[in-house]
Structure 1
Amino acid sequence: MEPNILTLEGFKGIRAGRGKDAITVDLDALVPQDARIVAITGPNGSGKTTILDNLHPYRTMPSHSSTLTVGGFSYWDHIHGNAAKKELEWTNGGRRYRQTLVFRRTNTTQKTSAYLHVLSEASGEWEPVELKDGTKSDGSTASYDRCIESILGPSESFFTSHFAAQGRKPLSGYTASEIKALLASILNYADLQEKSAKARLVANILKLKLDELQGTIGQSRGAQADADEVKAQIAALDEALAGRAEVEQQHQAAIDGARKALALIEARRDAQAADEQQRHDLNEQLRQIAADAEHSRSQIQAQHQKDVQAVGEARTRAQEELEREKAKQPLLEAEIKRLTELVGRAAEIEAAIAAAPNLRAVVDEQDRLIEASQSRLETLRPVREAVSKDTAGASSLTTAGMAKAEQLASLKETAGLIGRVPCRGSTMQGACPLLANANAAEAKIVPQARELQDKRDELRTVHARIKANTALLEEAQALEQSVRGAHAERKKAADMLDRNGQLCAMAPLLDDARARLPQLKQAGEAFQSLAAKHGEQARQFDAHVVELEQTRQRALDQVDAQRAQRAALVAERIAKLAAPITDAQIAAARRDVDTAIAALNAAQIATQASRDKRNEACARLSGLQALIAGMQETVAKAERIGNEIAKWRLVEHGCGNNGLIALSIDDAGPAIAAHCNALLRACYGPRFTVSFDTQEETKKGNLKETFDIRVWDGEVGEEKSLTNMSPGERVWINDCLARSIALYESESSGRSIQTLFTDETDGPLDPERKRQFMRMKRALLEHGNCREFFISHTPDLQEMADYCLDVTTL
């Protein structure tokens, strides 16, 4: 898949980043054909990711999607207004396609239309894509998604191996089942997966029937066990009831202790009145210290504001003087511009004065020609009116004659029924309405034929008069053409004379302009000197304001220091007083009493609940002892269904991800690892070697299906899981793996790699690793004969690209 032209309308990312409602990116025109690595550049928030996220035909923006499918994303969060549109032209397998997504929303509805067209090689027209199974892109999202996946494959495969979005999940984070599902999609094992799903459905249906039978069997077999369980429950409840009396006694003792503690703390509070008065006086001193400090701060702030206001007034006076002079400048500049233009047109004014006599002569000559032609046209006007009247009459006669001819034909058809009606000559002919209509029509035929002939004669007479006046009419048309030409020549000369007249009127102003222009320029230079003087004054005002702010801060710091010193002495005296008994402590002691009472009530409620449970258990025991049934036939039937389920489960697992598909994935693993190691050696040297573990030994010595990416580090001589590598190492090893999967998919499925996409995946890498990362990209592109679009804010990587597409220029 290779993108060609992208158009976005109504997208928030483009509106916020570029300030536009629509943008078109013509990659065919902008990017050179030989550019293999293309960097999309621009400042943060300029819309780069929005453009990259839409350079593919799947209905998702992967940087904002929670999954690798269209179900994890909604365009409505990324468009503004009531309408938006995305159109992408792209090429795949030598065919050119066009994706069109249209979004419309009202106050109550949101509608998405999705179309996929292909450019016909025969007609050169866009036609809806139609699959071999009859699926046709008709505007629905379901048909569109089926068409895209039929052409490009599943979206999970594409966004894992071809598109590296921001925040994407690394391959090391995939579970065994997720990586198997991904590789199964790449290896195109949909047929085996479908058979596995059908087998699972059959087994699940049989399981429902088996559960029903086993439930019936269990009710009978478990009756005695349930009865024993209920008897044990009754015995346990008897034991619990015996111990609850002791618990209630303990709660009563807790209530007595809490009440004694409350009485003690209330007595201590009554004995501390003297200390409380002293504490009150000291707290008043603290409040007075704070009030004095706040008063001093207010005075300092007031003086500071007064001084700053004085500086501001001086600045305002200087600014007003400058503004008065500045207000004069537009008029002065406009006058200088006007006089300069007037002096510059001196030659044009003199030429206009010289050309005026010739232009007046042309106007007079055309006036004489027009007057002579108009005189002749007046004599021919009656001829034109007569021809017009006869033409209209001929048209009216033709219409009437055609209507009359149709009416005569209808009468003849009706009259022809006289010889065909069955009632003619019978006793019923007098009462037959059809025969009566035919006789009436026959009586009207002769008068109608006469009227039709009269109109034809009249039409021939009118055509003769029109033919006789045709020559005079042609003469009138020729004269009118001549008059129009004369008017055009006169208007051209008159317009030029008017323009020259305006220039001639400027002649008296030239001398005044030449005299005033130097004076006005001198006045403009004086304003520039005044502006420079005002700038120096402004800097002096700013320095004075800074000095005033520093003085204010020093005074405030001194006031705060004095306040802190005085407050510390008073606080030290307060700290030496005995701690008071607070209302909170009294409230806490009372809560302890209430809590103990509530605990006793809860214990009494629990005792009653246990008695109720014992009564219910005795009633259930009586019911269980009545259940009995013979279940031999039911047991045999359950065994047959169980054997059948085992067979279908075997088919399910054999065709599923852990069966034939798992074996094929085991075969694909070394090929993918080989591609990955080749890329690593080409760009980073022989330090790292990647392999896949698809089985793991359990504690019992058995093997279980798993998936782990193992990396051998040649420098330290040890092997470890990719998840245990450093973040930077995981970035470029993960990217090598993803690109290797893309290469393997190209080899196994026949879908060639044409374009790769990367969005800021180089973040954790140091400068040297970033350059190696770029060399890996180039090695991959040379191997796969494809192109990559990437976003990076690293200038070195942008310089290593074959072409930089700056979004700020779009």
Structure 2
Amino acid sequence: MIPLRLQLRNFMCYREVEALDFSGFHLACLAGDNGHGKSALLDAVTWALWGKTRLGARRDDELIHLGQTEMEVEFTFALDGNRYRVIRKRDSRGKGQSALELQAWDDPVFRPLTEPTMRATQARINELLRMDYETFINSAFLLQGRADEFTIKAPAERKRILGDILGLSIYDEYEEQAKEQAKAKEQKAAEIAARIRDMDRELEHQPEYERELSQAESQAVDLTRTLQKAEGELRQLREEMKELDFKAAQIDDLSARLAQGEQELAELQEQVAAGEAHIADYEVTLSERQDIEKGFAALTRARQLNETLNLKLSQLVKLNERKTQLENTIAEARYELTTQQRLLAEKTAELETRAEKAAELEADLAAVRAQLESLTKLEGDRQARQQSRQELSNRVASLRTRNEQLKAEMEPLREKVDLLREAEARCPLCDSELSEADRDRLVAQFTAEGKEKANLHRANQAEIKDLSSQSEALQREVEAIDRELKDKPTLQKREATLEKELGEAQAAAQALAEARANAAAVEEKLAAQDYAPAEQARLAGLTAQLQKLGYDANVHEKVRQDLQVLARFEEAQARLQTALDQMDAERANLERLRHSQARKQATLAADLEKWDELKQAVARRPEVRQQVEEKEREVDRLQEKERRARDVVAAIKQQIAHCQYLVKERKKRVAERQKIVEEKAIYDELRVAFGKKGLQAMIIESAIPEIEDEANALLARMTDGRMNVRFETQRETKKGDTVETLDIKISDELGTRSYELFSGGERFRINFAIRIALSKLLARRAGARLQTLVIDEGFGTQDTQGRERLVEAINSIREDFEKIIVITHIEELRDLFPVRINVFKTPQGSQITVS
């Protein structure tokens, strides 16, 4: 990653600053006094890329410039031949809001690569850079005060730091996880072993369960035989009880049949008596046969005559209905003509009245129009007076404005005169000294000007008064005209009404002749009865038919009275006919009923005899019922014993089946425990492998040669080949054992010595070389190229020659990096770099210049 451009707004100590362009230099010095914002520029880069800074701020809001509510950092960088831009913003207002954008250059504009969420966008930036914040600051940043962090530590601590730099802490987590898994497996194996021991204790009882099963099954078989015998005896008693219950039911049935038979016998006796009464009635009716037949014949003749008269009456009603309809139609036609005659008479009278008003309306209309014409002239006069009044008002306003100006002009003249009358007065215009004559001349001049303006002011006031009087007179005249003009709307409405009424009167005069002619025609039709001619002709025909019909209402009434007198013979004839038809059948039915009565009496006697026999047979029923109940209780007791015996057998079988299940389950548990023990052994091996002496030691062993090569190459350039460094990862103890360590062996022309025996400048060069080597190693292992190096480290420990050599060393590695930025506040060191980025503080915030 190569920085190209950095733009800040309200970030930490910066407000609005010019963008920092990195493209114009390869090696630069970032200079400025302490606290002026050098490190803040690097924090801006890491905050834009990862949202983190070296300050460890808990909240982004703490990074916003004091007194502001929002900040923004825009960082453009190159990577693998492409250009990218990251924009991160923060607004602290309300609940706070953050934004993150990722863009790629697609000539001629940036193309957005931003994901839907900030988390996803940050993941894409990490994937693009192939490193996170921790890797970046540990590789690209040589932070202030941390150059000797690696070399001054004890060997064990030094190895831990190297492990942290190489990211080996993840293997500590793996080791802990493997340890926890091994512990969990061990606990699981112990639980399974305990379960197996429980199974073994349970399986020890299996032979005892088998003996108990044999005894229980023998007892169950004996109980089953006893129960079967008792159930057989109970079935016999129930059969006997069932037969007795059947006979008891027969007794109930016979009792019901006897009661029903006695009821049926009583009904037969009633039917015999009724049959004998019917035969007696028939014999009386047959004795009156001759009189009944004679009266019925007279009734039949009267009915025939009545039907003939009813037919004529029906025809008469229909003819009268038709006659009434025709008379109504004719009356309606005459009514219509009468109504038309009345309406025409009313219309004629109305038209005559309206026509007679025409002359009067014309005169009224002419008078109204004359009044309206006079008012129209008044409106013209009013407008002229209103215009004149407006002109007077404008003139008054102009004069008043002029008087105000005159007042404003007179006041300075009065002040000048007053000043000139004072002793030792000077010229109010040029401030020069004045003689007595000049002062008198100026006083007279200013006084004359004042009087002239005062006279003009009084003349204007007089004219204003006169014009105001004229305006008031005109206003009174306008108000008088307005009082006369207020009647104009009423007169206009009156004019419209009169015009409408006059038009209607003239139209009425034209329609009057036509209305009179129509009224004469209607009156002529009424006199000649010239209406509904067809209905009048049909009415004459109907009148002739009514006369021809010959219906006599008196005769019809006489026939109706005869029918009422003879009506009793119809019922008598029906009784006679019934007697003639039913006499033989009634006598036969009476004989049949008497035979049925005899049979019913015989059946009742036989049922009563059988009822006595059954009554004697069911006398044993209570005794047998008691025996059944006792036997049922005995069977219930035996069934309960047999059920309990079967339950005991089932329970013992269940225990034996459980033992058989435990045998199979024990095999599974033994296999499961063996598998868990094997898995625990694997986790134990992984714990050792992930530990300090496992993979971590191997990774460090593989990294040491790279670190040595890089550090010695740089150290050689800084010391003209005088110094080199070597790392030892193992050493022998006094007992002859080999232990893990990380010793640093430093050699120069005097030989190999410990780190503490070298001077401060030499130690700084050693630290610098090792730190650069570690940075390159870390970047390579992250899968990224280390193209940018930032050195934020104090150079106060270096003498002049050491500083020059350090700069030479930095220059010697410049080809290894695309950008190298050295942060310092030492004035002598700034001039040793080709480009200087100056940071200085102002009241408006820190500022940046490049020179």
Q: Give the shorter-chain TM-score range.
A: 0.3 to 0.5
TM-score after normalising by structure 2: 0.38
Higher RCO (CA < 8 A, seq sep 6+): 2
Q: TM-score, normalised by structure 1?
A: 0.40
Bigger radius of gyration among the two: 2
